[in-house]
Amino acid sequence: MSRTVVRTMTGALALAAATAVIPLVSPATAVADSIIIGGTPAHVADSPWVVALSSRDRFGGTRAGQFCGGVVVEPKKVLTAAHCLSREALGTDVGQVSDLRIISGRDELNGTGGKEIPVSGTWVNPGFDAATNGGDVAVLTLSEALPEQDTIPMAESGDSAYRAGTAATVYGWGDTTGYGDYASSLRSAGVSIMPDSSCEQAYPGGRTGAYDASSMLCAGEPEGGYDACQGDSGGPLVAQGRLVGLVSWGNGCGRAGSPGVYTRISAAIGWMTAAD
């Protein structure tokens, strides 16, 4: 099990969509030992900024083509993970995915609620490093504006929401067991923001990846059980009503001693500002 599992599920899904023979779960995830792992049903009415990323062309129609999460930060801007738009995840260059869209206002992927909005532009952080998962953010421009009330503020550097021990919530339609059981309805799980020292201890580098406190944060519970998982990538981690992280990577899902790792939003603000 290594941090490479972060990108294998979407890659596997893309392959499965293309060939219909590859299982939707990598051998790495099959050893995950816990079950949005530890979550409960959530509702977009209470969290309207959570969106699904979809391409039926790449991922098939059974779950409306959902393959990652995203979060609305401006009426026409959605943040997601850079790795969600990688060739490895999509099976092709993002520019070739002609039906890339976000689904807003829909809890149940197989339902008809809410809106599907085409993505008219993508910005992938040029500093994203697929080898370390550093800089894991991308910005989607929507072809149609969502209401201002559907946006969530981003927590800037120094915000108290980043403090270790803060209660946070992660949202997504991803794997609920670590065995490829993708949710069809939105779920959320409560996790605690962990001290950087614990994150560094959990991910010192090597096989399970290296934690970088300047660009990442980690969250979970010391005993495991509550976490994001495959398919949740790019989705929001929220604390004190503000966006603090994007689901990025981890060693398995919900394992004791292996917290989920998130893109640190205060760092992402810097990368995005530099691009303006």
- The pattern of x and - marking residues 180 through 219 that bind ligand 4AZ according to CB under 6 A reads ----------------------------------------
Q: How many CB atoms lie within 10 A of CB 127?
A: 16
Report the residue from 139, 209, 250, 266 that binds ligand 4AZ according to the rule CB under 6 A. 250
How many angstroms separate the CA atoms of 167 and 30, rounded? 29
Interface with ligand 4AZ includes 228 (CB under 6 A)? yes
Q: Is the Cβ of residue 36 or residue 146 nearer to ligand 4AZ in the bound state?
A: 36
CB of 147 to ligand 4AZ, least distance (A): 29
Beta strands 167-172 and 260-264, pairing class:
unpaired
Calculated CA dihedral for residues 152, 155, 160, 164, nearest 10 degrees: 100
| Pair 221, 43: CB distance under 8 Å | no
Interface with ligand 4AZ includes 249 (CB under 6 A)? yes
Query: Is the sign of the CA dihedral 150, 79, 171, 9 positive or negative?
Result: positive
Binding piece for ligand 4AZ, criterion CB under 6 A, among 118-126, 143-151, 200-208, 225-233: 225-233
Interface with ligand 4AZ includes 230 (CB under 6 A)? yes
Interface with ligand 4AZ includes 13 (CB under 6 A)? no
CB of 158 to ligand 4AZ, least distance (A): 26
Report the residue from 86, 104, 233, 263 that binds ligand 4AZ according to the rule CB under 6 A. 233
How many angstroms separate the CA atoms of 221 and 16, rounded? 33
How many angstroms separate the CA atoms of 80 and 246, rounded? 7
Q: Is the Cβ of residue 262 or residue 271 nearer to ligand 4AZ in the bound state?
A: 262
Calculated CA dihedral for residues 167, 37, 132, 243, nearest 10 degrees: -40
Q: Is 150 a known active-site residue?
A: no
How many angstroms separate the CA atoms of 263 and 247, rounded? 7
CA atoms within 13 A of residue 211's CA, in its CB half-sphere: 23
Q: Is the Cβ of residue 38 or residue 60 nearer to ligand 4AZ in the bound state?
A: 38
Q: Is the Cβ of residue 60 or residue 245 nearer to ligand 4AZ in the bound state?
A: 245
H-helix segments, the chain: 5-19, 27-30, 56-59, 87-90, 196-202, 265-275
Q: Is 233 a known active-site residue?
A: yes
Q: Is the Cβ of residue 105 or residue 190 nearer to ligand 4AZ in the bound state?
A: 190
Q: Looking at this protein, which amino acid is placed at residue 189? A: A
Interface with ligand 4AZ includes 260 (CB under 6 A)? yes
Residue with the shortest CB distance to ligand 4AZ: 250
How many angstroms separate the CA atoms of 141 and 157, rounded? 24
| Pair 12, 260: CB distance under 8 Å | no
Report the residue from 1, 6, 72, 155 that binds ligand 4AZ according to the rule CB under 6 A. 6
Size of interface with ligand 4AZ, in residues (CB under 6 A): 14
Interface with ligand 4AZ includes 9 (CB under 6 A)? yes
Q: Which residues bind ligand 4AZ (CB under 6 A)?
A: 5-6, 9, 227-230, 232-233, 247, 249-250, 253, 260
